[in-house]
Structure 1
């Protein structure tokens, strides 16, 4: 889950050494990014890095969700299928209910109910 990766809570470490190395590289880069964010924001200066990551995710999760569901480069990927009610596809729209970019329709926000459920308990 992207939220787990951003917040440093992802349990997946990789299935072989190559994957583990890639995962470690990603984590190093994310730490550098969040240290830079922390250095540029006085409000975050005294917070531990884990808290900075949580803060950033909370502030930016909607934009990440829009990027994942609305970006033209992702058209045709598996997200764009019958997802709304099992019959109505999201084709031509970012999300269900004819929610186009720029519109703020209810129930189209990023799913949040899994954010604080440990990964091993998610179905």
Structure 2
């Protein structure tokens, strides 16, 4: 869900005022990021939503964000204890043996979860 929020794809069904407030903050944050970019050509068609910039930012920072979330949880128990398809356990760590984060949920469309 956090990836969807960052990328502007969240199917938020809560308080519309909160959604509007969050989206406004994200536009401000990504506006600041955009303002600091040297190369802006890729984003010139984004408008003030910065959808492509948000997508690129998430792609670049996804692993760091998930590491912060999962490693910050005591014992690395935030997600199920298995990694990838081979069912190896994370053994109370916040990373899989290969070093990747133990989730793929941010790439599964929200309505399918």
Aligned to 2:55: 54
Residue pairs, 1:1-123, within 5 angstroms: 1-14=1-14, 19-44=15-40, 47=43, 48=46, 49-71=50-72, 74-75=73-74, 79=78, 83-84=81-82, 85=87, 88=89, 90-91=91-92, 93-97=93-97, 105-106=98-99, 108-109=100-101, 111-112=103-104, 114-115=106-107, 117-120=108-111, 122-123=112-113
Change (3 A) 1:23 1:113: closer
Equivalent position SS for 1:23: helix
TM-score, normalised to structure 2, is: 0.74
- 1:45: Cα distance to partner? 5.7
For this pair of structures, how many residues does the alignment match?
Answer: 104
Structure-1 separation of matches of 2:75 and 2:103: 21
TM-score, normalised to structure 1, is: 0.68
Greater percentage in helix: 2
Kindly indicate whether structure 1 or structure 2 has the higher relative contact order, using CA contacts under 8 Å at least 6 residues apart.
Answer: 2
Gaps of 5+ in 1: 98-104
